[in-house]
Amino acid sequence: MIEVDALERLPVALKGACFAMGAFDGLHPGHRAVIRLARARSQALRAPLGVLTFEPSPRAFFQPGGPPMRLMSPERRARVLKSLGVDVCVSLPFDAATAAMTDADFVSSVLHQGLDARAVAVGFDFRFGRGRMGDVASLSRLAAAHGLEALVADPVGDPGGGDKVSSSSIRALIRAGDMEAAARLLGGWWIVDGSVEHGEKRGRTLGFPTANLHLGDLIQPPFGVYAVWARPEGERAWRPAAASFGRTPTTGLRDPLLEVFIFDYSGDLYGRRLETAFASRLRPELVFPSIEALTVQMASDVAEAATRLQRLDPPSED
């Protein structure tokens, strides 16, 4: 899959593609329905399949300095899009000029002139243009005027019987620590990734060496301990693990950090990317009266994590 961050960098051979357009944060089943719609049309037209999104997201542009909201890193999103058969991902910068575009300007300058798109697929509730002035009806009308098709995906319902699947509902579940419910809406476990950093190295002295990473602009789950799977960069299999996310109040407060203890693993992970799939929250972050009490609890957490993971299926080896 080719990735480009400006219209002028789109290879000529990939002009005339059929594009799925949206934020695609998390790539939940609703997002995948939009991509399937674009794929079906691309196959019928024998055209490339593309994804059009924005970086940063419009939400991040309009709410600078807000809490982290991203469900999926751009790097992981690119890997999943490639696995879905996408030929090109166009991540356009969302800036003041983009925000000022009318819906007509966007269709004309981006979809028609910039991408020469043959078709564009969106979700049923898609909005675009200055002040969210455009919707699927205006997109269909404006697209037709430029000779391209607008395709609208139907809403995808919550498998548990609730409302439609949405990134907002998934974020709410993650913030509540309900990883099982979040996985139901995502269509798989919530996975974070990042580069492993050097930490205080206190875990190894306690018998639980951890791989440490900051979540950056990824949404933050509640502080606490989790049963997780971990996959180091370059490996296919997911390994059972336990993780703590928080500020370590027992040993001294610091910025929130994800610390992952991979069972029966002894490799050097510094500088490598690590994927972590959240399966279940075990307990909240606690303050312990001593390092000894903390160590006893850590052993109990690891045992509980192993027990819970045995009852669950790990992520697929995509």
The CATH class given to the 167-310 domain equals: mainly beta
Q: What is the pLDDT along the chain (318 residues), one digit of tens a residue?
A: 999 999 999 999 999 999 999 999 999 999 999 999 999 999 999 999 999 999 888 888 888 888 899 999 999 999 999 999 999 999 999 999 999 999 999 999 999 999 999 999 999 999 999 999 999 999 999 999 999 999 999 989 877 666 789 999 999 999 999 999 999 999 999 999 999 987 665 555 566 889 999 999 999 999 999 999 999 998 999 999 999 999 877 666 678 999 999 999 988 888 899 999 999 999 999 988 888 998 999 999 999 999 999 999 999 876
CA–CA distance from 130 to each of 57, 95, 123, 149 (Å)?
15, 12, 18, 22
- Domain 2-153: which topology? Rossmann fold (3.40.50)
Residue with tokens 């913030």: 175
What letters, b where the CB count within 10 A reaches 16 and e where it falls short, cover 25-40? bbbbbbbbbbbebbbe
Domain boundaries, the chain: 2-153, 167-310
Distance CA 271, CA 261 (A): 16
Residues 136 and 174: beta-carbon distance below 8 Å: no
Query: Quick one: tokens of 98?
Result: 């983009």
- In sign, the C-alpha dihedral spanning 310, 176, 243, 68 is positive
